[in-house]
Structure 1
Amino acid sequence: MMEKTMGLLGHWYRGGTSKCWLFDAEDVTPHAGNREEIRSLLAAAFGAADARQLDGVGGGTSTTSKAAVVWATPNGEADLDYLFAQVGIGDPTVELGSNCGNCATAIALFAVQSGIVPPRERITRVRMRNLNTGAVLSGTVPTPGGTVPRSGLARVPGSSAAGVPVSLSFHAPWGRTTGAVLPTGNVADQIWTGDSRLTATLVDAGAPAALIPAEEIGIDLSSMTGNLSEHLPTLVAARASAGLAMGLRKPEDPPQNAVPKVGVVAAPGDYIAADGTVIAEDSHDLRVRLLSMLAPHPAIGLTSAVAVSLAAALPGSVVANVAQPAHSAIPGAPRLLRIGTPAGVIVTEVTTDDNGNVIEVALHRAARHLATADIDVAQTADLTA
């Protein structure tokens, strides 16, 4: 056996509270022409088989082990298509079954900075189609006077560095992954985790998610500094059970670590954030804590925030039962939902139609370019090959 490498051009971005390697499809297709080959390529590039991701460019955590391949589609439904990848850590697998709003934030900025979408006079709107789910998103980037932004002053909870402001919008229709906003047809279901039964709202908006009352699992959200280790088996079992109920896998299929998203919700209350800051009860409308792969998310994924926002608008859901109603400062304007997370409070803007159906969820985020690199992807090959 001998080891050989191939060069792969990558663009490293922080989007919101995630780090993502972005790859232009033109640089990927010479090495990987289909999804299985893309999986293998990314697993090797990230060093996924090692829990430290030592021989690759992965960050060793779920929020820093992400990638997307981007195709420019100037005559398509959107300006670009992208395939999101959640890369394994200590496991040479790559899951292509979900979406990531934080990475989509980075992709919007990348599209403007790379010239995929030419900058416009004041703001530039980038329409993006997620190939994993079929969802269409838009990211709005400030381009004053048609200039391409290289830095900015926008900040988000969970990151200390400023970045370029990006407004990210998720658009209906929902249910792109499972075919329905409520895959089971119910606003609340009973799911089993071994011998225990839990109430859950199973919703498909932004990403499939299973949302459970924190009190049913015994998770105290007055502090979000712990690692949830004692509750991890229950949450993982809940994800597996929810995946079956939502039609995301068959009984003979192994559970996935990325979908559905799984987390717990509670009514607003004073709580201690991950950095020790005390967050006051009157600053948010509900508290949320979710898993990212097999560890607690340090903030909240944007697709999960969309799922929470839509579930909050469904009377009888576990989210609506604990949340203060979203409010609007101006009649007719989007309603604001303030979500308490381990990193602090994030706000979603929820737009509804005349019938009260959610048609758009928007978030204000920040992104910044970190590096562009020629990645040496290590591969093993037989000497006779």
Structure 2
Amino acid sequence: MQQTEIPFHFLRGGTSRGPYIRREDLPADEATLAQVLVAALGAGHPLNIDGIGGGAAVTTKVAMLSRSDDDWAEIDYFFGQVAVEERYVDFKPTCGNILSGVGPAAIEMGLIAPQGDETRVRIRAVNTGARVEAIVRTPGGRVEYEGDAAIDGVPGTAAPVMLKFRDVVGNATGALLPTGNLRDEIDGIEVTCIDVAMPMVIARADAFGLTGYESAADLDANRDFYARMEPIRIEAGKRMGMGDVTKSVAPKFGLLAPARDGGTLAARYFMPWKAHPSMAVTGAQCLASCALVPGTVSDGLLDRPEPGEALVTIEHASGRIEVAATYTLEDGTFDLESAGLLRTARLLAKGSLMVPGSVWAGA
């Protein structure tokens, strides 16, 4: 049986990369779709040797795009997190770094026309319902990739992609604090279970005997930490109403520590079975929100900004990321109106992905 061709664009979005594909060029049902993505990225092998994955969670991500029928959005963005060493795809979460490439990819694919020197692309994150406005440079009617914007975790500079997130509170669980508590104690560790852009379980690094400044490699080598952390994450997932999260990448896990290089606070983010080499865009919004809410595990780690417009600078394993948050705090109720971040993206390749015809014979 011949292989099936699937048109794709391959982009780096923020500190992640992967194929961007029209949703209509893929199977409609999720079971077959998962098999196709597993085959395309080579999931089930540590090097993804039989696919285009890069052997790490940040390089086994897929963006599926289509024109939106939403009253506000122009583009629907459906995300798939493909496992590295397992033949598995998680469609529950979204990814803010990959979202950085959605605007450029939508223009490259002809899903939206450029609008001048800058093109505003209104995006609905299908997995979570979040609404995001991306501002992409398009001088002369073409996406510009070269520029002077730098983000930690990516070498060199590129054209900026500005992202403004809305409607990100409680997307996965229906509440900012899904357990109803600012803090919960699980297995002797105090955590804050919070859902902003990405549901997370957040603890202080010193609760695990860590500094919070460890490198990603050092954290991954500390298997005792993972053995302690993972049961806490699984129990927290149950308490957050997410069911059995043993096979799911959500909720993610985060550690907080005081800043040491002039930021607001330091953090480490887990995907969740490996440490993120830098920081997820969705995770940054959730960690920033945790920092802004009094009574969470962030208390005592930072000088909390006043409500209104606040810049939260998170020091991570590869540098720092800034979240420009607009929020209110009235009678103890936190409301995040929007969160803005600067990212970059670059088109790396385009053409046809090949998957075995026995997996999917095509539309």
Indicate whether the TM-score tops 0.5.
yes
Which residue of 219, 227, 237 maps to 2:219?
A: 227
Structure 1 gaps, min length 5? 270-279
Pairs within 5 Å for 1:161-310: 161-172=156-167, 174-192=169-187, 197-224=188-215, 226-228=218-220, 229-230=222-223, 231-249=225-243, 253=244, 255-269=246-260, 280=261, 283-310=262-289
The count of residues paired between Structure 1 and Structure 2 equals: 353
Tell me the CA shift for residue 256 of structure 1. Answer: 2.8
Tell me the CA shift for residue 75 of structure 1. Answer: 6.0
Alignment of 1:87 onto 2:82: yes
Tell me the CA shift for residue 257 of structure 1. Answer: 4.1
Which residue of 1, 5, 8 maps to 1:7?
A: 5
Equivalent residue number for residue 326 of structure 2: 351
Q: TM-score, normalised to structure 1's length?
A: 0.86
Equivalent AA in structure 2 for residue 238 of structure 1: I
Tell me the CA shift for residue 222 of structure 1. Answer: 3.6
Q: Given the superposition, is the C-alpha separation of residues 320 and 100 from structure 1 closer, same or farther in structure 2, using an over 3 Å criterion? A: farther
Q: Given the superposition, is the C-alpha separation of residues 216 and 79 from structure 1 closer, same or farther in structure 2, using an over 3 Å criterion? A: same
Q: Given the superposition, is the C-alpha separation of residues 378 and 26 from structure 1 closer, same or farther in structure 2, using an over 3 Å criterion? A: same
Distance in structure 2 (CA, Å) of the matches to 1:146 and 1:23: 21
Distance in structure 1 (CA, Å) of the matches to 2:140 and 2:58: 34
Aligned to 1:102, the other structure's residue is in SS state: helix
Tell me the CA shift for residue 199 of structure 1. Answer: 0.7
Distance in structure 1 (CA, Å) of the matches to 2:136 and 2:44: 36
Distance in structure 1 (CA, Å) of the matches to 2:70 and 2:238: 37
Equivalent residue number for residue 42 of structure 1: 37
Which residue of 92, 98, 104 maps to 1:97?
A: 92
Equivalent residue number for residue 57 of structure 1: 52
Distance in structure 2 (CA, Å) of the matches to 1:304 and 1:51: 25
Equivalent AA in structure 2 for residue 206 of structure 1: A
Q: Given the superposition, is the C-alpha separation of residues 320 and 99 from structure 1 closer, same or farther in structure 2, using an over 3 Å criterion? A: farther
Tell me the CA shift for residue 208 of structure 1. Answer: 0.4
Q: Given the superposition, is the C-alpha separation of residues 75 and 181 from structure 1 closer, same or farther in structure 2, using an over 3 Å criterion? A: closer
Alignment of 1:335 onto 2:310: yes
Tell me the CA shift for residue 291 of structure 1. Answer: 0.9
Distance in structure 2 (CA, Å) of the matches to 1:45 and 1:222: 36
Tell me the CA shift for residue 92 of structure 1. Answer: 0.5
Given that 1:340 and 1:346 are in contact with CA atoms closer than 8 Å, whether structure 2 keeps it comes out as yes
Q: Given the superposition, is the C-alpha separation of residues 212 and 364 from structure 1 closer, same or farther in structure 2, using an over 3 Å criterion? A: same
Distance in structure 1 (CA, Å) of the matches to 2:274 and 2:329: 39
RMSD value over aligned CA atoms? 2.0
Q: Deviations over 1:97-135 (max 9, x none)?
A: 101000111112212333322222342211111111111
Distance in structure 1 (CA, Å) of the matches to 2:300 and 2:200: 17
Which residue of 336, 340, 347 maps to 1:369?
A: 347
Aligned to 2:337, the other structure's residue is in SS state: strand
Equivalent residue number for residue 302 of structure 2: 323
Tell me the CA shift for residue 90 of structure 1. Answer: 1.5
Given that 2:129 and 2:167 are in contact with CA atoms closer than 8 Å, whether structure 1 keeps it comes out as no
Equivalent residue number for residue 27 of structure 1: 25
Distance in structure 2 (CA, Å) of the matches to 1:89 and 1:115: 31
Distance in structure 2 (CA, Å) of the matches to 1:344 and 1:336: 16
Tell me the CA shift for residue 139 of structure 1. Answer: 1.1
Given that 1:189 and 1:200 are in contact with CA atoms closer than 8 Å, whether structure 2 keeps it comes out as yes
Aligned to 1:157, the other structure's residue is in SS state: coil
Report the identity percentage. Answer: 30
Equivalent AA in structure 2 for residue 362 of structure 1: G
Equivalent AA in structure 1 for residue 197 of structure 2: G
